[in-house]
Structure formats: C-alpha cells, structure tokens
C-alpha cells in the first residue's frame, strides 16, 4: 500500500444504502421498510424523529477514516437529496466538502440508479485522475463487486465500508480491505433491544438528579479519533507525533494548534492528558492513546 504521504484517495458514498442499513442495524431487521411510509409522510413526528435521531449516521467518522489512507482528492455522495431524511445531512456533508450527486426519485425499472451512476463515475475518475491510489466505496450491495474488481485490476487499493449485517460477503471479499461502519473510531455500536414483560419489569425507582454533562471538546475529540485511526493503520501502540499531526490535518485542514493557544503540536497534545500520552525522551517524539480510552 502506498505511503500515506503520497496516497491520493477518492471516496464514493451510496448514501441511501448506508442510512437505511444503519437504521436497520439500530432498530432491527427491515425496520426502515416498515417505517418508510411514516418517514416519508412526516419526519417531525415525535416517534419517527426519535428513531431517526437514534440511527443518525456519523458522516465525519467515515470521511476521517478515509483520510487515514491519504489525501482526499474527491468525495461524492449519491442520493435523492430532496428526500427529507437525506436533506437533514446536507449541511454536514457540505461542511466536509462532499460533492452531492442528485439522484432523482427512481422508477421501479431504475432501482439501481445509484449503483450505476456511482460505478460509472468511479471508472471515469480512475482514467481522468491516473494518480489516484485508493478508492473507498461506502456501501454494502453485492452490485458493487464488479466495480471493486475493476478498480483492483486498474491498480487501485480498494477499501470498503459497510454496516455489519447488511453487507454482502462477496463485496467484502472483492476489496483489498473492508471495515464495518460499526467499528470506526467514534461510532457507538447499537445494543440489542431487550424486551421486558410487566411481570419481569423492574420496580420504579426514585429518579436521581441528573449530573451536569461536561462541555464538549471538539479538539480533544479530533485528537482522539486521529490517534485511534493511526493506531489501526500502523498497529503500533506508540506513534510518531508528526504522523498523527499529518493525519489530523487531513481530517480537518482548518486545524491549528496556534489558534487554540498552543506554541506547538506537542503542547496541544500535552493539554489533553486524558486523551493522549507523549514521550519526548528520544529524538523521535512519539504519542499514544491513553489506555483507558482504547
């Protein structure tokens, strides 16, 4: 696999596939199909809104994962963006420089519109951009097997990302590397629903006063995700500080430790002792994720 300093990555998201698959993963098999009519009718219905919120896809986690392979040259998301479910993601996607490809509502005879358009664009991009080294396909359909095979024949390293339980084994086998969305850094795996009867239900308890939640620390969360991704890539506990900074900058090009009030990147890391531990005892400065965060 090319060095991450030289690697150039293209990302293609079959957005409908991931949203529906994650919804089923969170709420149970075929849950999206059962709720589809209610979802299309009114996404503000309290019950539907809650179910959609519980199954919200973290686009940032996917893009950050793709950035761990190298420089993102292009990122495209394919969906009907007039769909109210997809529309809620538009700001999040645009903020991460994702090119939104509009797929108009398909007729019954054109149900594979996303698959075909994504595949055509991918092959065209490989010939148009011969310096592409990696192709990341975010989907789970077996329809993408020929595309993954063609990318490999054209000399690209193919990475697949799909939802566990909704990904065809043949697609995973066709990729050079395949990872479940569930296992990406920052993603909380859904816990299986436990049904309780009135007889088995626990007696009501006195509600305790809710403890105030700590203020979110976006910079610390970004550092933690970068460390987890670099650990996955290198399989090393202690990682070069410069490599972690390079990855963090690919994940968020606007990041600047000086804007955050730190003289150097090492000072920034030291300011987050709950996330990272730094070793400056040798000429090569290394850093690792705090064992309690793994």
- pLDDT of 215 reads 73
Would you call 283 exposed, middle or buried from its count of C-beta atoms within 10 A (0-12, 13-18, 19+)?
exposed
Q: Which of 73, 50, 48, 54 is nearest to 63 (CA)?
A: 73
Q: Which of 73, 130, 98 is nearest to 14 (CA)?
A: 98
- pLDDT of 110 reads 46
The pLDDT profile of the chain, 294 residues, written as one tens digit per residue, is 555 668 999 999 999 999 999 999 999 999 999 999 999 899 999 999 999 999 999 999 999 999 999 999 999 999 999 889 999 999 889 989 999 999 876 544 445 567 889 999 999 999 999 999 999 999 988 999 999 999 999 999 999 999 988 889 899 999 999 999 998 988 887 765 444 444 444 455 555 555 666 677 889 999 999 999 999 889 999 999 999 999 998 888 778 899 899 999 999 999 999 999 999 999 999 999 999 887
State the number of CA atoms in the 13 A half-sphere of 14 facing the CB: 28
Instruction: Tell me phi and psi for residue 282, to 5 degrees.
Output: -125, 180
- pLDDT of 154 reads 95
Cα 135–Cα 80–Cα 173 angle in degrees, nearest 5? 30
| Residues present in the chain in total | 294
Domains of the chain: 8-183 (3.40.50.1010), 218-293 (3.30.420.610)
Instruction: Tell me phi and psi for residue 34, to 5 degrees.
Output: -70, -35
Q: Which of 174, 128, 127, 135 is nearest to 12 (CA)?
A: 135
Would you call 132 exposed, middle or buried from its count of C-beta atoms within 10 A (0-12, 13-18, 19+)?
buried
Interstrand relation of 134-138 and 99-102 (parallel, antiparallel or unpaired) = unpaired
Interatomic CA distance for residues 75 and 131, integer angstroms: 15
Instruction: Tell me phi and psi for residue 141, to 5 degrees.
Output: -75, 145
Q: Is the separation of the CB atoms in 290 and 276 below 8 Å?
A: yes
Would you call 151 exposed, middle or buried from its count of C-beta atoms within 10 A (0-12, 13-18, 19+)?
buried
Q: Which two tokens stand for residue 264?
A: 């150097």
E strands, the chain, where? Answer: 8-14, 71-79, 99-102, 134-138, 157-162, 177-180, 239-240, 276-279, 286-289
- Max distance between CA atoms of the chain, in angstroms, equals 65
């Amino acid at each position: 696999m090319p060095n991450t300093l030289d690697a150039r990555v293209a990302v293609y998201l079959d957005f409908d596939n991931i949203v529906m698959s994650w919804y089923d993963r969170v709420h149970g098999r075929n849950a999206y199909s059962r709720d589809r009519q209610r979802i299309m009718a009114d996404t503000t219905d309290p019950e539907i809104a809650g179910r959609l919120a519980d199954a919200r896809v973290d686009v940032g986690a996917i893009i950050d994962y793709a950035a761990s392979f190298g420089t993102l040259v292009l990122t495209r998301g394919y969906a009907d963006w007039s769909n109210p479910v997809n529309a809620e993601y538009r700001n999040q996607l645009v903020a991460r420089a994702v090119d939104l490809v509009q797929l108009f509502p398909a007729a019954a005879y054109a149900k594979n519109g996303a698959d075909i358009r994504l595949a055509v664009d991918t092959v065209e991009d490989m010939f148009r951009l011969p310096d592409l080294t990696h192709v990341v396909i975010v989907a789970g359909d077996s329809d993408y097997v020929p595309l993954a095979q063609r990318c490999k024949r054209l000399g690209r390293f193919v990475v697949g990302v799909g939802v566990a339980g909704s990904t065809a084994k043949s697609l995973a086998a066709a990729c050079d590397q395949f990872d479940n969305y569930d296992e990406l850094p920052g993603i909380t795996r859904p816990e299986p629903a436990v049904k309780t009867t009135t007889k088995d239900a626990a007696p009501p308890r006195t509600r305790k006063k809710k403890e105030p939640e700590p203020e979110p620390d976006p910079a610390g969360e970004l550092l933690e995700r970068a460390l987890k991704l670099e650990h996955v890539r290198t399989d090393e506990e202690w990682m070069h500080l410069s490599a972690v900074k390079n990855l963090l900058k690919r994940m968020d090009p606007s990041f600047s430790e000086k804007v955050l009030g730190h003289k150097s990147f090492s000072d920034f890391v030291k300011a987050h002792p709950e996330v990272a531990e730094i070793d400056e005892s040798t000429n090569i400065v290394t850093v690792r994720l705090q064992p309690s965060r793994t």
